[in-house]
């Protein structure tokens, strides 16, 4: 509220995004100005909600509703820098579903999509809220574990492997799913950049596939957990 002659006060209010109502005021004018202000506030809140939803969609995998590849890469770089700066552990688990192509071929891509969604949910139930689960591509997932050393990462990896084995996935829960996992952890003398953490975890995953699947391998080479031979497939 400002008297007509107080030009400086009116300009200051306008610069701050406020409304200027001259005194003495008209009741109808005051009502309309208040209504307009409330309407503007409501539109701004709606726009803010839309922006937040667009941001969420931009970092989320549409099928599985876990984080997507791009967001994983951003977080990997951020967490690696933070771990270097504060001398903290950082572990990475790569999870690849075994013989996933056979599921698509035998039961159709719809069944394969259901399996991916159920595996993603199982992964999220196996980790802490501070950990990151992302779909890395196809039937491969990445799990980033901040402030987690290698023994802790191996415990999580075994929980993930068992959780996937226990799924009753696909149509009517008829599909049995297994996964191979590769684990790598920083600090390590061979890991000086986030790309090297990714590469060493990928090498460990490849060994798990080569050595029979449904198992965990780590960097440096040494199989830690594996399923009984009769269950590898």
The per-residue pLDDT for 43 is 82
Distance of CA 79 to the CA centre of its chain: 13
pLDDT in tens, 57-81: 689 999 999 999 999 999 999 999 9
For residues 59 and 67, the answer to whether their CB atoms sit within 8 Å is: yes
Three-state SS at 224: strand
Is the pLDDT at 112 greater than 80? The verdict is yes
Fold of 69-231: Alpha-Beta Plaits (3.30.70)
Hey, which bits of the chain come out as E strands? 90-97, 132-137, 140-146, 179-186, 215-218, 222-226
- Banded pLDDT at 115 (limits 50, 70, 90): very high
* Catalytic residue IDs: 139
- Statement: residue 25 has pLDDT above 70: no
Q: Kind and range of the H or E element at 117?
A: helix 109-125
- Convert the pLDDT of each residue in 189-202 to its tens digit: 989 999 999 999 99
Helices 69-86/194-210 angle, 10° precision: 120
Strands, E assignment, 11-131: 90-97
């Amino acid at each position: 509220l400002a008297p007509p002659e107080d030009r400086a006060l009116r300009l200051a209010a306008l610069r701050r995004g406020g409304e200027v109502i001259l005194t003495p005021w008209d009741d109808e004018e005051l009502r309309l100005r208040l209504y307009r202000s409330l309407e503007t506030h409501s539109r701004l809140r709606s726009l803010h909600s839309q922006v937040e939803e667009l941001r969420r969609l931009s970092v989320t995998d549409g099928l599985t509703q876990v984080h997507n590849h791009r967001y994983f890469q951003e977080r990997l770089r951020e967490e690696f820098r933070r771990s270097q700066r504060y001398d903290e552990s950082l572990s990475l688990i790569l999870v690849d579903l075994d013989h996933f192509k056979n599921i698509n071929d035998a039961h159709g891509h719809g069944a394969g999509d259901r399996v991916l969604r159920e595996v993603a949910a199982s992964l999220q139930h196996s980790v802490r809220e501070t950990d990151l689960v992302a779909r890395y591509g196809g039937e491969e997932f990445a799990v980033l574990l901040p402030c987690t050393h290698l023994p802790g990462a191996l415990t999580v990896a075994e929980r993930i492997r068992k959780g996937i084995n226990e799924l009753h996935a696909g149509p009517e829960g008829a599909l049995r799913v297994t996964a191979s996992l590769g684990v790598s952890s920083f600090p390590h003398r061979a890991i000086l950049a986030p790309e090297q953490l990714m590469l060493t975890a990928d090498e460990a995953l490849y060994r798990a596939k080569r050595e029979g699947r449904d198992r965990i391998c780590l960097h440096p080479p040494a199989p830690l957990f594996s399923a009984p031979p009769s269950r590898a497939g």
